[in-house]
Structures are given as structure tokens and as C-alpha cells.
Structure 1
């Protein structure tokens, strides 16, 4: 059966975040006037990278975390700009988890966090920051998927025995450089001995409408992006859903796809997409 491989230093895993940095990411998320989509996305990615770092720190006496994952964050926006945003001056598309602290800064930030009643409150806390909110220009999604293919084709060839790469793609609109389905299908065909690459897609909402949450069948609607992103998304392996603690909320056969997401759905998406952190074993 595919998607069974455990993760250790001889067989690291791989996460690649594709983040939309186009001009519309400055809009408020979910109809809220308080949080911009780009800010919510950067905050969540920073939190996820920190969680990965913690999972890779098995012994506080060691000088650096262990190399259990290769991690990349690729931003796309502007006039066809696609580039790594974590690494040495943007030259390293994938960074070993052991090196993540080198590329972060630590600062005290005022963050808007939802309370139990869904209201946002400002909280001060010290955070490790890898990704800053950026919004500019168009949405070169096809170019971003093609770049991811180039990076992960090399990774998969060098890590044949590893759990396959997981791509977490977050956008708020349609591609402005063509139909991304062909590039997405080509990306999903990459594989290791443990299965095909997993591509998960999330669409951020500016309107606060009802979210489409990990559907197991195509969802009708007037927005063509719904069908397109569903078609682009891999099926969620049951093991990942169980390990993330969402088995009672997500039906078998569901796709890794969320539409019209607000902050809670964005957090769920990231937790499920990075659930392989629970497969780390010392060594």
C-alpha cells in the first residue's frame, strides 16, 4: 500500500508551500475588516514551519534540529515572478529542517487571533518569522506549478525510498498565465517508491461565504475556480487524515481541497497537509 513510509534522517520527508502573493492578497479574509489574506497566510505558514522545527528537535542538548524534512516556500505574484522566499538569498528552493533557524528572525508581534466566539483579539507574542506578507500584481500559478515540478523531480529522484513530497498550494484567485490543470497533473505524476506526490489546494475567501471543506465529489457552483481546483487536487490518504485527528470530519475519498476558506479552514488545511510530522522516528 502507498503512503506508509515512516520518516527518519535516511528517508526525510518533503513539504513545499506554494503561496499566492498577487495583488488581491491584500484584501481582508472571510469578509473581516481586520485580517488581510496575505497576513493570515504568512502567519499560518510561519506557525507551521515552527511546528515542523519542534518535531525535528528530539534532544534539547543538540545544537540544531535534525534533518527529518526538506522544506520550501515558493512565492508567486507580480509580473510573472516565481521565487523561493526561504533560504540563502532566495537561491535554495528546499531547505533541510536542521537549517530552518538560520533563515528566521525572532520578533514580538501583535497578532489578531480568533477567540472561542469567533471574534478577533490582539495578542502579543514572540514568533519566528520566515515569511512576510507580500501582495503585488498578477497570479502566475502555472509558472509556480512548473517551478515546483522542476524542484521536486530532482528531490524525488534522490529520495526514492521516502514518503512522497507534499505540496500545499494557497491562492485566492484564478491563474493569469493559462490553465493550470496540465501543470498540476504533471506535478502529481511525480512519485517515490511509496506513492505519488500529493498536491493540496486551498482557496482563500474575501466574502465570508460557506466553505467547501475537503469534498469527496465535485461541487457545483458559479465560480469556475471551484471545479478547477478540485480537479487539480490529490485524494487525501486515509492515514494522513487519521494522524491529523480529522477522521470524523472528512469522508473517505475526499480531495485535499478547501474553497472559500477563512482562518480556521486555513489552519485545518495546514495541519492535515503536514500530518507526516507525526511519522518521524528518532534516528
Structure 2
């Protein structure tokens, strides 16, 4: 059976993330096989996964809850992959009828050999996966599902800012979002040192960047902020200890910590953060990193403390 644990490494000991092979795109005008329609598609996520969390936040911010249904997997993943179980009010899966997310992958492609990843989107009309390529999912929600967004929904990917957003996203992905995984799953000291040094150099730069700006790009909430937030909200809870990203904590960065609280205190962010799922997933799913399976009680952090970022508006 294909391993479902994200610990692939190169010959040099560096963590390598697998390619995402389902890459269908949605379209407003029907120019792709998957036109943007309400009620047709189902989003499968883990509340523990930072890549999936992006899609959940964007779905909430844009008011797409009625247009795109949601299924949440159990946070504890084993060799069978993500399970859809009763509990936490999220299961069973009444739309796809899946007990394991692998069923959606193998129904779409019986020869599929990769990991069964979240987020992914199932087309209930054709009975196949549209995409598991997480960067495309939020962009398509923002640009192709506009007819189904709530009145007054924010423009998270404004056309004039896209070059700047894309450039920043590329750096944040490589050095922060994926950087914590490159540190956590490094197979030797040199690759770990390299990943951690790069990660904290970027966090230091972002700390300075946010000293005079409330948001990353253009003075408004954008896709870039959402992508950074999902790593920051997990940083002290799991990445500092579990992935050994411990040169500094998020709370040691005044601007980044205030910025993260500023976002968290908005309903679409707060209501989609589940620290129980986050900690149980990481500490119970990676036995090579945490063989005891003990889930830490801490850290005790006050995400509701005043952030005082309004002055930068």
C-alpha cells in the first residue's frame, strides 16, 4: 500500500513534497470541463492541514458555504489515509458516501499511486475528483465563483495586485509554508540547519515588513495573508516543538504575533481554527517524529489579546 505519510526525502536528505496530479480548473464561462456551479462540488478538508485550511477560510470569507459543500476528515490519519468518521459533527460523508478519502482518488483513477491529500474537490455530477492542487482551489474560489459570493465579499485576489501577491506567495511557500516541513522532515543535520535558517530569515524579514503595514500587500486583506496565516496559527502549537522550528516562537515577534491575532479575531479565521485537530493530527500521525504519541497540553497563548493593528490601517 502506498505510504500516506509526507516524509519523502531526496538523496541529500531534503524533504520533497509529492506533485499534485489532479489539476482540473473551474471556469465562470464554461471554458473548462468544470464550470462554476452552485451545489455541484464538494470540498474535502482536514482542519489540521494548513493547505486545506486556506480553502476553508476563503470559502467562509466569500460566503460560498451554500455553493460548495464541505466534508471534514478525522484528524488522525493512519496507513489507510484520511478517514471520514462520525464525530465532531463532521461525519459520515453523506454526499460522496466515502469512508476513506482514498475511495475518491481510486474511483477517479484506479491506478492512482500517490498520497491521498487534502484539500481536494469532488464533482458530484461526473463522479470524479476535479483537483487536489491546493494553490488553484482558493484562486478559483476567488475568481471563478464570483456569481455565488455573498454581497460585499472581499476581493482577495485583485487584478492590480496579482503580480505582487504571486511573487510574495512564491517566497512564503518555499521558505515558510513548506519551510516548516523541510525542517521537520529533514533526514540529516545539514538539511535541517538549512531549512531552519532560511525559515527564520524570512520570518525576520516579514516581521520588519509588517512593522508599518497591517497586511502583506496593498493595504488590504488578500490571498497572501491567508496563506501566511495558516502557518502562523500552527507555529507555536506544533512547528516549534514537533518540527524543531525553535529559534524563536511566533509570540517572540511583536509584529507577526499582532498580525496573526488581527486575522484570528475575525470570524472566518477564528471559527475555522481547531487546535484540537491540529495538535492531534501532527502528534499522532508522525510516529517517527513523536513515537510516544503524547499530545502536549500547551502552549497557553492568548489569541484574543488586543492586537492594536488598527493604527496601521
| TM-score, length of structure 2 as denominator length | 0.29
Larger Rg: 2
Structure with more relative contact order (C-alpha pairs < 8 Å, separation 6 or more):
1
TM-score w.r.t. the length of structure 1 is 0.31
- Would you tell me which structure has more helix in proportion to its own residues? 2
Q: Which protein has the bigger strand share?
A: 1
